[in-house]
Chain A
């Protein structure tokens, strides 16, 4: 079992993201209550919890889709609580979605190029006169950067295919590629391995670890596959009914009785580590 320390990852002492006591309500429903945590630069931070625990709502608060009624979110030394989502992308937050959210009628290449949106300078006017004014040069430079991402995620063979025609596993990879193309400091992954077979999961886990170690990206990941979460995360946070019930190294979180209760609904469960883990991942 991992102790939460992988060789290769360089974790800074300073925090990149600071979520301070956020609460989110939809009418009478409390999706998040007083959730606070911080993620250090270079960390791979996982958020787990039963369905409906508020994990995706939390990511949506960080990426700007929802606006929490209470609390503050600071990213990279800047208060982003009220910043518009498109500004957050430019500030360095990229994300993927639980339910695929690709641009279905665009080619894979164009999908990923949209990720470069905030890095590109050409506009409507320089774009229209492509050959004069530098748009072509700029587009081709960014095409190179995009090709690096394509190579990394091994999707060269589909780069010209229409995104909507791809298989599920490939679409997940294209979505990750699009988020990586943004060159974010922080990348939010919402269930990157949902619905994948073992082989695809292993591939995806490798990409995520590489992104963290080689590309130096800080990652917040929501994932239900406990085996993967415990293996690759540095730290894990557990949500249940919109509350944070545990946070710490993977082994600590696994041993936490509250976590077991949340997942298994049993109060006096006396089992060894192994069987519980199996029960959870099944």
Chain B
């Protein structure tokens, strides 16, 4: 019987504890720890430009993970993720302005966004699928409008200033230092999610996705878990947004539009629905995509293609088209995303050269 485990042969577990680890083998664990250490050393060698890309991957990756918990793990849909990201940013800026220390403000902003997310998640107890999609679309527009009008909270159309991140009086702003703040948040938030998915409530979320009728017969309260998924998703979005606000130092309603929400969906589709690491892979892909198109446009500069398409002026439109094309290509050729592709690569090397 073929069992899809990547455990090397002869590696037998002698305790349930050893069998329930997040990282299947000691080598994967070593790679993850080594990877984090390497990342911690990154600011010593990398330029600010690359660090800013990685910070971007960090806060977007946290928010994308939230959406993946909602869409990939609990089988629901949201096309308003960007406004929860935005709400977290505004909430944290607002709290920091009213004297709350920034690290605490970020966490509180996450909780505040959770409350808002739960409110907008209430329709999920009644409707599914397309209808739920429309309900979340309503959240997108209602909150976007709220951001413009609630000047006391968001500074209206001029935006809100977000205080720089300081911890115990130590200034952590600037790419080199803020990188560590984001790294810590990413590690903690991803560990939380990995733990959640191997315990009671995480399993219940997946059960609701896979077969809600039998989940209910197994004692899972459908309404509770469907709403809870929205809460968790908003918490992650809120934390991501708050990290963004204190990184940029400024939060504005611009850019929190539906396109940004769709980009979050693109990240998790490309990365892999229902995969924790996939959320990060998809975010990396989406953050690097514009870099790639920029580089490509640079290479093609002056060529026939450039002259025909006016690459320099059209680059932003090209980018959006490329995002759309990528989503479609992934849906057709790799619907399980990059995470699945990565698994297959691992399986190939594990069995090489006898892959039968």
Contacts and interface: CB of A to CB of B under 8 A. Distances in A.
Interface of A: 63-65, 84-87, 89-90, 94-95, 97, 101-106, 110, 113-118, 120, 122-124, 126-130, 135-136, 139-140, 143-144, 147, 157-158, 160-162, 165, 178, 182
Nearest to A140: B16
A110 B206 CA distance: 10
A127 B217 contact: no
A144 to B, nearest CB: 7
Contacts of A95: 217
Contact of A139 (B4, B198, B207): B198
Contact of B232 (A97, A120, A124, A161): A124
Nearest to B4: A162
Contacts of B232: 124
Given A117-B220, A143-B20, A103 B213 contact: no
Q: Which of B193, B216, B222, B228 has the most CB of A within 10 A?
A: B216
A65 B211 contact: no
A114 B17 contact: no
Contacts of B19: 143
B166 interface: no
Contacts of A104: 210-211
B211 A117 contact: no
Interface string B193-207: 101101111111011
Given A65-B213, A89-B219, A106 B207 contact: yes
Given A86-B216, A89-B218, A158 B201 contact: no
Contacts of A86: 216-222
B218 A106 contact: no
Interface residues of B, number: 38
Q: Nearest 4 CB-CB pairs, A to B?
A: A127-B199, A89-B219, A103-B210, A101-B214
Contact of A114 (B5, B195, B218): B218
A94 B214 CA distance: 10
B58 interface: no
Given A101-B214, A140-B16, A178-B218, A124 B228 contact: yes
Contacts of B238: none
A84 B201 CA distance: 19
B37 interface: no
A106 B192 contact: no
A64 B195 CA distance: 32
Given A130-B199, A165-B2, 7 more contacts: A105-B210, A106-B206, A124-B228, A127-B196, A127-B200, A135-B200, A160-B4
A58 B201 CA distance: 30
B68 to A, nearest CB: 14
A204 B140 CA distance: 52
Given A114-B203, A130-B199, A105 B217 contact: no
Given A122-B199, A139-B198, A103 B222 contact: no
A102 B214 contact: yes
Nearest to B216: A85
B308 interface: no
Contact of A117 (B2, B3, B200): B200
A101 B200 contact: no
B219 A118 contact: yes
B207 A123 contact: no
A242 B17 CA distance: 50
A117 B201 CA distance: 8
B274 interface: yes
A29 B257 CA distance: 50
B1 interface: yes
A116 to B, nearest CB: 8
B315 interface: no
A151 to B, nearest CB: 13
A196 B62 CA distance: 47
A153 to B, nearest CB: 15
B183 interface: no
Nearest to A101: B214
B134 interface: no
Contacts of B213: 65, 101
A103 B200 contact: no
A110 B3 CA distance: 15
A105 B273 CA distance: 12
Contact of B1 (A85, A123, A157): A157
B217 A136 contact: no
B214 A103 contact: yes
Interface in B147-189: none
B201 A161 contact: no
A106 B220 contact: no
Contact of B202 (A63, A127, A143, A162): A127
B215 interface: yes
Contact of B217 (A85, A124, A135): A85
